[in-house]
């Protein structure tokens, strides 16, 4: 799993967003972010990368790259 691919897949969860999502994006500050989006991201990471993360992992992450590092360590 590469960071670039992870960011691309993460961005796809926000397909209606006008914002550009990058590794350093603080995803919890995105307008679309909420509990439903968190579930979508969890499911996407599980489906695309076969990595299981949970709400605590999301809470521990500030940026998309932080979330990538957490998922990669699983």
Residues 21-32 pLDDT 10s: 999 999 999 989
Question: Which CATH number is 3-72's, of 1.10.760.10, 1.10.150.120, 3.30.540.10, 1.10.1200.10?
Answer: 1.10.1200.10
Domain boundaries, the chain: 3-72
Residues 55-70 pLDDT 10s: 999 999 999 999 999 9
Distance CA 39, CA 58 (A): 10
Taking all residues of the chain, what is their mean pLDDT, rounded to a whole number? 92
Q: In sequence order, which residues have a C-beta less than 8 Å from that of residue 50 and are 6 or more positions away?
A: none
The pTM of the full predicted model, rounded to 2 decimals, is: 0.89
Burial of 58 (0-12, 13-18, 19+ CB in 10 A): buried
pLDDT band, very low/low/confident/very high, at 14 (cuts 50, 70, 90): confident
* Residue 55 near residue 69 (C-beta atoms within 8 A): no
């Amino acid at each position: 799993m590469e960071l670039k691919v992870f960011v691309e897949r993460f961005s796809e969860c926000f397909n209606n967003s006008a914002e550009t999502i990058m590794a350093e994006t603080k995803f919890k500050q995105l307008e679309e972010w909420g509990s439903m989006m968190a579930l979508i991201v969890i499911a996407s990471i599980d489906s695309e990368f076969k990595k299981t993360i949970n709400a605590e992992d999301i809470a521990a992450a500030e940026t998309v790259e932080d979330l990538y590092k957490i998922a990669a360590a699983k």
